Amino acid sequence: MKTMKKLQVAVAAGALCAGAGSALAANISQSGLTVAREAISANVAITQTLRAPTVSYSFDNGPAANAGSTQDFNVTLVLGGDGAAEWDAQVATYKTVAAYRRNNGNAVVPVLPVADVGNVPPNKAALVLMSVDVWPALDAGADAANATVKQKYRYKFRLVNNTAAPIAIGDLQLVFNGQNPGDGAAAPWNTALASVTGVGVAGAADYALVTKLATAVNAVPVLSGTDAGNTGNVEDGCGEGIRKITVTGRNYIGAGDGVQGESQGAPIQSLLNGGYIQFQTALAVHMEKGVAVDRNTDPLTANNALTLPGGWAAGMTTKTMALGTVKFSNRALDAFDTNLLTPYYKFGPNDLNGVPNEINGNVDVGSLQIKVDATNGFSTGAAIGMSTSPVCDPAATTVWGATSFSPDGKTATAAFNLAQLATILGATGSPGDNGLLDAVAASGAVATPFNITAPGTSDRAYVCMQVSGSALIPQSRFQNAVATVYKNHSIGAIGAEQSNSSCPAPLAGLGGGIKIDVRNYSEFPWDSDWRTYVRVINNSETQTADVWAQYIRADGNYGRYVKLFDLPPRAARFLSDREIANLMATQGQVSASRGVAGKDGYASEGDYANANARLRISSESASTLRVQNYLVNAKTSLLSEVSGAQGADFMNLESSSTESTDHQDAQTGIKK
């Protein structure tokens, strides 16, 4: 199994002379890490740390020391990139530093602790890690007022040469935040000192740490409260892109003790790795209408129930309707949890086990929220749920969220707890091994996610709406639907794993069947004696109608659409073709369902140039409308009503129990 995503960066610098008070030519390369953005809180009040990834720094003309002499030098690592990540105050030890001769078979150069600076045997040589300057102990004079001082981490070394000949290690490669390999194998690097012959495995307290991650992972961090922040669906266009912490390597060589490095203003050899730690969104939540069908309210029940559509499927009822689907998936990338170990952070087995604060790749799912807007509000007593049935069959496995509504009644928010998620999303027969994308049951057999067996539907659950049957159901478009997975992970009271949200999506609609095509509509030139007038009548006694119009072009494209007006009960209004054309030009919107870009107006071209568009009149809130249209000649005063050619007067059951919505001329409402 791949254990680390590799991101290699190497930049070579021109040669510089080595000497007291100068920099050495070098290059930097390191294995960068990709960490799941969700595993890092965006709340600035939280303290989270990551073990800094291994970084190697290779000299092109490294340090040298005369016989029986020493040479001091340092390497400083400076964080940068997105946000303002900092080094933690923990001081790295010699156990995490390695040194090699990269042009000499990668021979080990021993790195000793400062306690052994005077213990290098005769005729031997070694590097000694004299100290590590972290921001609390950086150069007081030069760094005290430096705003970026917490981005600096300085390793101070001494090359100790106790041999009778000069030593130059021009091909020195230093590896930081790795594992000290121990003593050298051959003279003069085989010191036989216990500190390196028995160095042992570096522990958590030996490594450098990176902290202040909130501003690095999200462009807009959480500045107050306890929320961990949120990330959207990258593929659907509402998620955040890659964020990066960079590291710059600098070296400095100086004679004697107390090398201060780049803070003294000497020449700097500075090398950048632009992808030291990368943060990417690992998970995806998606909502869509899917196989859900638009439904209508039933005027024979005072619009308190739903009609069953033509060709309705078994399981459909007059009190429940499918709105769409919610889907959970892993993005095609491998990103670590905060332990920086595999398995990677992904939806999988045990995500619904209720164990909080895991850093082992499990997604600590705590709850799911689904929020839906309705253009004209929801029925009193309505509830939002999830089902294993595409039509929300009450006989199928179904859970109903705790549903609340905004003060205006136009936004419903349904909350699903962990037990409900386990019911609807867990694998069949494996209650102890539930998972949003459960691949293996407790028995080891392949499990079916979501309890669903229908082909092509095993990676999603179906979103449902239930009504009481005793309250008016407003006819609405259900839109801006967002599903959010919240995590059961916190440090103190502050959330430590970001939630994942879907992008806002339209779902199935609920209407009264008012979709009217004015077949004989014509727009005449402005200087013509002819005009077309459209008269819209709201023959409802109780319901205000929102009246919309759309061009249905002769070439088959959906043209622009615009809201004409709100029409009170029993009211009627005239509009001329000139007024409609002006509204389309100034306020009309382009249909996302159009066939060809740019073909949005009234007139068609080519084979359809002499055929006029028809006008579609629609209402989402009304359950009945009448539309008449007239041709008027201002010069001759000729008036012709041409409504009769429009078909069966756009009838609705509220108008007459003998008429049927099946007789309507148009098949759909406004295509937005």
Average pLDDT on 390-404 reads 93
pLDDT in tens, 17-58: 344 455 666 677 656 899 999 999 999 999 999 999 999 999
**pLDDT > 90? residue 149:** no
Residues 6+ apart with CB under 8 A from 462: 290, 292, 322, 324, 325, 386, 387, 388, 389, 390, 392
d(CA 357, CA 351): 11
Does residue 107 have a pLDDT over 70? yes
What b/e string do you get for 504-527 counting C-beta neighbours within 10 Å, with b at 16 or more?
Answer: bbbbbbbbbbbbbbbbbbbbbeee
pLDDT, mean of residues 621-634: 83
Give me the half-sphere count of Cα atoms (radius 13 Å) on the Cβ side of residue 663. 13
Please answer whether residues 306 and 323 qualify as being in contact, where contact means their C-beta atoms are separated by less than 8 angstroms: no
Residue range 69-93, pLDDT digits in tens:
999 998 989 899 999 899 999 999 9
Q: 5 or 590: whose pLDDT is higher?
A: 590
Q: CA of 452: how far to CAs of 317, 439, 507, in Å?
A: 20, 13, 21
Separation CA 474–CA 491 (nearest Å) = 44
Nearest to 631 by CA among 559, 530, 561: 530
pTM, two decimal places: 0.74
pLDDT, position 433: 34
Does residue 648 carry a pLDDT above 80? Answer: no
Residue 45 has a pLDDT of 96
Bridge partner list, 153: 77
**Per-residue pLDDT, 620:** 66
Q: Is the pLDDT of residue 106 over 70?
A: yes
| Maximum average pLDDT range among 176-185, 426-435, 553-562 | 176-185
Provide the pLDDT for residue 649. Answer: 34
The whole-number pLDDT of residue 294 equals 83
Residue 63 has pLDDT above 50, yes or no: yes
What are 207-265's pLDDT values in tens digits? 999 999 999 999 999 999 999 999 999 999 999 999 999 998 888 887 544 344 453 33
Residue at token pair 């869509």: 288
Question: Max Cα separation, the chain?
Answer: 121
35, β-bridge pairs:
279, 336
Count of CB atoms situated within 10 Å of the CB of 658: 7
Judged by average pLDDT, the poorest of 37-46, 454-463, 515-524, 657-666 is: 657-666
Confidence category of residue 136, pLDDT binned at 50, 70, 90: confident
pLDDT average, residue stretch 566-573:
92
450: pLDDT confidence band, cut at 50, 70 and 90? very low
User: Confidence class of residue 147 from pLDDT cuts 50, 70 and 90?
Assistant: low
Q: Residue 366 pLDDT > 50, yes or no?
A: yes
Range with the poorest average pLDDT among 302-306, 334-338, 668-672 = 668-672
10: pLDDT strictly greater than 50: no
In 613-652, beta strands by DSSP E: 614-619, 626-633, 638-641
DSSP state of 582: H
Q: With contact defined as beta carbons under 8 Å apart, do 335 and 282 qualify?
A: yes
Say if residues 198 and 110 touch (Cβ distance below 8 Å): no
Backbone angles phi, psi at 418, to 5 degrees: -60, -40
Whole-number average pLDDT of the chain: 82
